[in-house]
């Protein structure tokens, strides 16, 4: 099993995201220093409840913590950040409809729209 990778990542997260010692870190979860040591050295593995709490605490996903992926939540790849931003934007109905229409429009209309937008954006910058 992947106790080792989990331990490595836990240690990195504790060291880079906090100044906690093992003891201090353990206290936040009612765990003994030796327990954290066991985790970080790959000799033990916490149950799913603790894994979840760690993931919440560090704001990473469990797949990262468990060594299944290299993508944690907050150092997201740029693509992912863009996806999230778009997803968020889709919560605005006007924007959603607009994007959908754009995607379905013929290329000439797309190009025309882009030219227009470039124009009004640059126009805005001049005003500043």
Among 16, 30, 47, 127, indicate the residue that binds its own copies (CB under 8 A): 47
Q: Does 121 participate in binding its own copies (rule CB under 8 A)?
A: yes
- Alpha helices in the chain, H assignment, sequence order: 3-17, 22-27, 33-40, 48-58, 62-65, 78-89, 93-104, 107-127
Alpha carbon 94 to chain centroid distance? 27
The owner of tokens 């201090």 is 24
Among 23, 76, 77, 117, indicate the residue that binds its own copies (CB under 8 A): 117
- What mask of x and - would describe binding to its own copies in positions 75 to 94, judged by CB under 8 A? ----x--xx-xxx-xx---x
Among 31, 55, 60, 65, indicate the residue that binds DNA (CB under 7 A): 31
Of 37 and 62, nearer to DNA (C-beta) is 37
Q: How far is the CB of 36 from its own copies (least distance, A)?
A: 16
Q: Does 50 participate in binding DNA (rule CB under 7 A)?
A: yes
Nearest 5°: the CA angle 84, 77, 18 is: 100
Q: Does 57 participate in binding its own copies (rule CB under 8 A)?
A: no
- Distance (Å, rounded) from C-alpha 60 to C-alpha 72? 5
The owner of tokens 């030219």 is 115
Alpha carbon 70 to chain centroid distance? 11
Of 40 and 55, nearer to DNA (C-beta) is 40
Q: Does 59 participate in binding its own copies (rule CB under 8 A)?
A: no
Q: Does 40 participate in binding DNA (rule CB under 7 A)?
A: yes
């Amino acid at each position: 099993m992947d106790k080792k990778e989990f331990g490595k990542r836990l240690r990195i997260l504790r060291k880079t995201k906090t100044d906690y010692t093992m003891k201090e870190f353990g206290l936040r979860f009612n765990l003994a220093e030796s327990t954290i040591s066991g985790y970080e050295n790959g000799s033990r593995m916490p149950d799913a409840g603790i894994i979840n709490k760690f993931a919440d605490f560090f704001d990473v996903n469990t797949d990262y913590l468990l060594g299944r992926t290299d993508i944690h939540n907050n150092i997201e790849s740029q693509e992912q950040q863009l996806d999230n931003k778009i997803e968020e934007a889709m919560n605005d109905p006007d924007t959603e409809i607009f994007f959908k229409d754009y995607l379905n429009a013929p290329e000439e209309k797309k190009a025309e729209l882009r030219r227009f937008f470039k124009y009004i954006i640059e126009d805005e910058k001049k005003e500043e």
